[in-house]
Amino acid sequence: MADRTEVVFVDGVRTPFGRAGEKGQYWNTRADDLVVKAMIGLLERNPNVPKERIDDVAIAATTQQGDQGLTLGRTAALLAGLPKSVPGFAIDRMCAGAMTSVTTLGSGIAFGAYDLAIAGGVEHMGRHPMGFGADPNPRFLSERMVAEDALNMGMTAERIHDRFPALTKERSDRFALGSQQKTAAAYAAGKLQPDLIPVAIRSEQGWGLATHDQGMRPETTMEGLATLKTPFRPHGRVTAGNSSPLTDGATASLLASADAVKEFGLTPKMRMVSFAFAGVEPEIMGLGPVPSTEKALRKAGLTIDDIGLFELNEAFAIQVLSFLDHFGIDDQDPRVNKWGGAIAIGHPLAASGVRLMIQLARQFEEHPEVRYGITAMCVGLGQGGTVIWENPNFDKRAARKG
């Protein structure tokens, strides 16, 4: 490990996230144009970076077809104005696509193969519903490798409720309400907007500009959440209110080696400490971040008590709550999702991993007393992913005061 090159998260941006479907702001926008817009915004924010020095581009998508197909990393690089000498590729790890883009290119930096790289993801769930057109091998079911509804993410969330009776619907609803309230407060304080790249959009009313996340519901109440239908089973506990909505959006991040940071005068926002992916039963995929986090902590030589900030993807409230209960963290712990999460902001599958990193990086700036933070998420087909980051603004004196 001594000769490993340091991996730095320099910057990250995203489009505003839109509601999927005909009522969504991106219904008439191509998926590849969304990620190209994010990449152009990223490059414009970092004019010190010579485009020809980008070593690789990895862009993730879960449903790689149509305007989300054709080796997205390469096509998006060309459309974003990078020189033809810059290569690119596509990644699919379902919800952890962008996270895997970061860890894959970060590994290349650590190995010494790359100095600068762009990692991100896009999902246009309105155009490309998850799993659309896929043809799963029939042996998955005939040989009982997975349950028939293992790809129904709502059912996997219901099963976590079944397995852990202490994880009640009331707790899920209360966590969801907190996500909406925290996101609304973050917007009011201008925390999220600096990293949003506006996107020109077209509708029946003409041309406009997408500047904010479309899925927020600041008017949410516990009473309202209690009345919502449970679409995945009668008298269930998973509802549209305590789940992330179907979402369109894109993210892009700039990664660099320590040498490149010095060469181009860049300012690191985070340093990658370790990462891990792990598998669990597909039927309870929401538990995936538990073993992936334990693995990442072990590889970093850290414990959960060393982590000062958590950005956990809120695919479902129950998924986050199962993580918190496992590690003995309170539902309302202020270290967790300080500015809300996917329940309010949205979860465009393969794009979400970098959104978590963008928010953690901003929080690191505000909290020099925190040394380590985590971004973690569950992944369809029974996986979890975790990345541990170090705060370059860490101040031991601030930590002692804290």
How far is 284 from 280, CA to CA, in rounded Å?
Answer: 7
Angle between helices 153-163 and 317-326 (to 10 degrees): 40
Joined together, the tokens standing for residue 56 give: 């690789």
Joined together, the tokens standing for residue 355 give: 């959104």
Amino acid at 325: D
10 Å CB burial of residue 143 (0-12, 13-18, 19+) is exposed
3-state class of 79 per DSSP? helix
Which active-site residues does the annotation give? Answer: 95, 347, 378
Which of these, 257, 210, 234, 240, lies nearest to 110 by C-alpha position?
257
10 Å CB burial of residue 332 (0-12, 13-18, 19+) is exposed
218-229 residues labelled b (16+ CB within 10 A) or e (exposed): eebeeeebeeee
Q: Which residues pair with 209 in a beta bridge?
A: 200
Decide if 346 contacts 123 (C-beta within 8 A): no
CA distances from 208 to 29, 44, 202 (A): 12, 22, 6
